Chain A
């Protein structure tokens, strides 16, 4: 889309766009270029000798079991966060959408976790499961379930999944609700007159019409699980026990800033960039073409 009518000036547009270009060049293109450049270099931990090593950093990563495991952890974690988060919020949104009265209040009560910082969400959930005073951990113990996220990898994973889903419910809920409200009432009324039950109507009319929203949210949730959950993990499990909850972003941070392996960290950054770009491209292609409104 283009404007028909424009202003004419030789210098003004350059001045107007200069601040944004400056910020983008210095803090986006320069570092992104650096990441590409560093990913083919090897540097010792004291910043001394630097040498060109080609794809060695990448070879090392893909030969490294802990990196491959981190991929698996990340995939498992994002599938859990996205599937649980989406189903819970869809259920809540469908329920809120069918109520005549009260849905506004429920909406207000459900959206505020969006404002909570991920690290605070992590602290809140850690507190419920921390021993000895954690309320939920105590409850689980009293029904004979020994909760220990410091030793048990599955428990640690469950903890970060719960905290991440909790934080993201409000976002998913709002988009599902907006999607549901944009579905024409006449379609649902027609099906009701034909005698379709609410259950049947949901799966044959509402759910297919909601697919663009669902797909969009799926991508957003995967991106969220990949990147924004860093703070939750750093607050609760520190990637432990062992490396069982160390997702890719956590590893980039850990290898670069704790283990001081800049080349390896930069190579990981490059791989992450490729993943995000792929996700974005998938989103654009499918949202525009495949999923019907």
Chain B
């Protein structure tokens, strides 16, 4: 602290509190809506700002589907959450695994076309999947991967964020470790497994947090490659529940929104240290 300015401190707290409440208000409202019935939400103008007592009802309906009190059918969200979880895990683990191997090859070996490979991998950093949706869609459909986990995940693995971060990290690992390993007669894969992997543990954790959120929150890509309800991730399922604004079962939609936010938000808050590290490192 440079100097004491109690007035300014108070102002800082006020501004931060205001910021936090603006950030949190939509979440609060979502929670409140998920504890009321659809009629309560749509008939009272404006809706009540206090939590109702239909918490269990809304969430049971959202998770397992069924008929609402208005008689419309609601799809079950539970299988969608499983789809989301599986694809997020495939994306994060897949990306980290292939990146570990290729970064190891790029840093610890000299071989023909190494520089060409390097640039071919790193140019992918520039173009997000949103830019090349229609051609990528055609490729995936030609390969018969529509409505499969492979189609949902593999095209999203084709980006070099993780490779780039791991390469940067490997370059900072002291050369003496390689020399020591070689002197003890360890081959490259032994070195990779017993020395490099344990050293990269925090980087891998940080990458995992970022990639998990990235995978869980994918929307546009699943929208294109899935036409089968069994393969809808939750983020997409929620959009499909918005029929017309007035007739939407808002309590179920909002319960679904909470369910869709919960896993990635928990990952961010519980793994905050790694999350911040991952975020700052991947963008460096």
Residues of A within 8 A of B (CB): 1, 3-10, 12-14, 16-17, 19-21, 23-35, 38, 88, 91-92, 95-96, 98-100, 102, 106, 108-121, 123-128, 130-135, 138-139, 166, 169-171, 174-175, 178, 185, 188-189, 192, 198, 216, 220, 223, 227-228, 230-231, 234-235, 249, 252-253, 256-257, 262, 265-266, 269, 272-273, 276-277, 280
Contacts and interface: CB of A to CB of B under 8 A. Distances in A.
7 contacts: A5-B179, A21-B102, A112-B269, A116-B217, A118-B217, A119-B239, A276-B126
Given A133-B47, A234-B239, A24 B131 contact: no
B280 A178 contact: yes
Given A133-B46, A280-B125, 19 more contacts: A5-B182, A6-B178, A7-B187, A20-B98, A20-B163, A25-B120, A28-B158, A33-B135, A102-B16, A115-B265, A119-B239, A123-B257, A124-B29, A124-B30, A227-B130, A249-B131, A257-B133, A272-B131, A280-B126
A269 B8 contact: no
B261 interface: yes
B260 interface: yes
B154 A23 contact: yes
B157 A192 contact: no
Contact of A99 (B9, B157, B216): B9
A6 B19 contact: no
A98 B26 contact: no
A219 to B, nearest CB: 10
Contact of B220 (A25, A134, A230): A230
B46 A134 contact: yes
The B contact surface, by secondary structure, is helix
B136 A27 contact: yes
Contacts of B213: 114-115
Determine which residue in B22, B131, B159 has the highest number of CB atoms from chain A within 10 A of its CB, and name it: B131
B135 A16 contact: no
A13 B105 contact: yes
Contacts of A257: 133-134, 137, 224
A253 B220 contact: yes
Nearest to A278: B126
A127 B254 contact: yes
B15 A21 contact: no
A100 B3 CA distance: 11
Contacts of A100: 1
Contacts of B191: 7
B26 A128 contact: yes
Contacts of B159: 28
B171 A3 contact: yes
A3 B160 CA distance: 21
B33 interface: yes
Contact of B280 (A26, A166, A175, A189): A175
B272 A111 contact: yes
B133 A198 contact: no
Contact of A4 (B46, B127, B175, B187): B175
Contact of A118 (B160, B163, B219): B219
Contacts of A115: 213, 217, 261, 264-265, 267-268
A111 B268 contact: yes
Of the listed residues B47, B109, B159, B179, the one surrounded by the most CB atoms of chain A closer than 10 A to its CB is B109
A175 to B, nearest CB: 7
A234 to B, nearest CB: 7
Contacts of B16: 92, 95-96, 99, 102, 106
B135 A189 contact: no
B139 A27 contact: yes
B279 A171 contact: yes
A227 B129 CA distance: 9
A56 B261 CA distance: 45
Contacts of B81: none
Nearest to B218: A117
Given A119-B239, A253-B220, A227 B135 contact: no
Interface stretch (B37-45, B54-62, B65-73): B37-45
Contacts of A133: 41-42, 44-47, 250
Contacts of A126: 242, 245
Contact of B135 (A34, A106, A116, A138): A34
Nearest to B132: A31
A35 B254 CA distance: 38
B107 interface: yes
Contacts of B128: 223, 227-228, 276
Contacts of B12: 95-96, 98-99
B201 to A, nearest CB: 20
B243 interface: no
B261 A138 contact: no
B15 A92 contact: yes
